Structure 1
Amino acid sequence: MECIVKDSSLYFIDADGACKPDVIFWRLGAVNPEAKHRSILELIDYSGIPCVNSASTLLMGYDRLSMLNRLKKLGLPVIGFNVATGTDQLKNLEMQFPFVIKVGNHHGGYGKSLVTGEEQWEELKDLLFIHHDYVTTEQFIDYRYDIRYLAVHDKVWAMKRKGRYWKANSLTRKYQLMEPEEEWIGKVKQLQENIEADIVAIDVLETENGERFILEYNDIPGLSGFPETVKIELSEIIKNKLKQ
C-alpha cells in the first residue's frame, strides 16, 4: 500500500484502488518500522486526518530509543541500558552476564537475545556484525511476571502475564486481570498525558523480591485478554474523532 497527499487531501492506494479515509486506526506493530511508515505518519499529521493515536503521538514512540528516552525524562523506572549506534562498537557494550542484547527497532520479541556467557557473546558479536543498526544491551531481569497497565481515554486496566520463555510479552501462556494499583495508575496516566495518547500501555516486570521496572511503553497495544469494555471505550474515541 502507498500513500499520497494531493491538494492537501490524503489518499491510500493499493491494487484495488484509492481510498480517502475519514479516520485512521493505526495498527502497525510487531514489525521493524520502515522509513516509509514514518513518512506516512508525517503525511497523516500534515493532512489533519484524525488518527488513533494521533500521528504526532505515534511519531514520538516510533523508535525504541525515542520511546525509552521519553520514559527516562518523565522519571519513570525504565530499565537502564547501554547503546551503540553501530555494531563495530559491540566490544564496548558488554555487561555482567546475563544480559539482554537488542538490535534496532524490532518488536514482538524479534531481534533480541539473552547472553549468558563469554562464548555465546563472542558468537553473537560475529553474527551481529553484519547488521547496520544501533544495538542496546540491558541487564537481564529475572522476572516473576509482567504486568500490562492499559489506559484508554480516562480508564485504566491491568493484566498480569507470564510468557513461555525469558522474553516478556512474547508467547504468553498465562494471563490474569488484576485490580490496577493507584501508584501505577498514576504512572501510566502521567505518560498518557505527556504524549497526549488516546490509548497507551506500559509493560512492567516484577522480580521475585517485588522490584518493578518498566520494560517499554506501547502506543499501539494489543487488547487480547482485556474485557470487551476496552473495545467499547476505544470505539467511542473513534466516533468522537469522526464527529470532530
Structure 2
Amino acid sequence: MKTILIINGEKYWQDYFAGFDVVQKKVQTSEFIVKNAELYAIDENGVCKPDVIFWRLGAINPEAKHRNILELIEYSGIPCVNSASTLLMGYERLSMLNRLKKLGLPVIDFNVATNTTQLKNLEMQFPFVVKVGNHHGGYGKSLVSTEEQWEELKDLLFIHQDYVTTEKFIDYQYDIRYLAINDKVWAMKRKGKYWKANSLTQQYQLIEPEKEWIEKVKLLQENIKADIVAIDVLETENGEKIIVEYNDIPGLSGFPEDAKLELAGIVKSK
C-alpha cells in the first residue's frame, strides 16, 4: 500500500485517498531527513517514509526551513504535488512576479528596494500599497493614503531588515481567481471585507472563465510545470484586469467538488 504524506492542509483531504496509507503532518512541528537516498518525515507521532507527498502548506509565512524541505524532496526524487521544483520557483514573491513579467502577463507594476532603509526613495502618488518581505495571507502590507500615514509607516518599518515594494493602489471592483488543475480551468469572482484582495472574503461566485484568461493561466501552468496553479486578478470599474500574483498552493474553498477530485486524482496517479 502506497503512503501519501499530506503536508499541512485541511483534514478532509484524508477522505479522498481510499486504498492508500495517509499520513498528515505539519511542517511547523516536523523534521525531514534523507538517509541512504530515502526521505523520512519525523514528528511526535512517529516516522513516515512517503511514496508521494501532497504539499498543502497554505498561507503561512515562508521560512528557510520550508525551502530546505523542498530541496530535500527534490533531492530524494519523491513525487510531490506540486513538484518541489515548481514550488521552489514561486517560493519568493519577487521570483514569482519576475516569472509573470517574463511571460508577458499583465502583472502589477511595483518599485522595490533591498532594505526598508530605502523607503524614502520609493514614495509614489497617494494612495499606494507598501509590502514588506515575503509574506502571505495579507500580512506585511499596508495601504498609504496620506503624508502622515507614510511618515508613521516609514518609522515603523525602519526596524525591519527586508526588501520592500511599493505599488499603485488599484481601486478594483472585485478580484477573480483563475484556477487550473490538470487541463481544467475554473474561475471565481470574489469580494473581501476591506481593500486587500484574497483576504477576509465575504462574497464569491463561480463564473465562466474567458478564453483569454484560460490561455493565460495555461501558459503559466505549462511554464512552471504545475499540476495546480491559480492566478489572482483585480478587475477595475472599466474592465481592466491586472495580475496581483500567482499561487502554486491555492485554496479551493468555494470551488466545485470536481476541483478537489481532480487534484486528488493527480496525487493518486504519482
Question: Could you tell me the TM-score, scaled by structure 1's length?
Answer: 0.98
Per-residue CA deviations over 1:62-115 (Å, capped at 9, x if unaligned) read 010000000000000000001111111011111110000011111110111000
- 1:132 deviates by 1.2
Aligned partner letter, 2:112:
V
Question: 2:181 & 2:157 partners in 1: Cα distance?
Answer: 38
- 1:235 deviates by 1.1
Alignment identity in percent?
83
Question: 1:88 & 1:102 partners in 2: Cα distance?
Answer: 14
Partner of 2:232: 203
Partner of 2:15: none
Q: Number of paired residues?
A: 241
Partner of 2:82: 53
Per-residue CA deviations over 1:130-165 (Å, capped at 9, x if unaligned) read 111111111001000000000000000000000000
Report 1:100-179 matches (<5 A).
Answer: 100-179=129-208
Report 1:1-244 matches (<5 A).
Answer: 1-241=30-270
- 1:22 deviates by 1.2
Question: 1:126 & 1:21 partners in 2: Cα distance?
Answer: 47
Which runs of 5 or more structure 2 residues have no equivalent in the other structure? 1-29
Question: 1:60 & 1:170 partners in 2: Cα distance?
Answer: 23
Which runs of 5 or more structure 1 residues have no equivalent in the other structure? none
- 1:29 deviates by 2.1
Moved over 6 A (4+): none
Question: RMSD across aligned C-alpha pairs, in angstroms?
Answer: 0.6
Per-residue CA deviations over 1:32-52 (Å, capped at 9, x if unaligned) read 211111000000000001100
Question: Could you tell me the TM-score, scaled by structure 2's length?
Answer: 0.88
- 1:31 deviates by 1.6
Question: 1:193 & 1:231 partners in 2: Cα distance?
Answer: 20
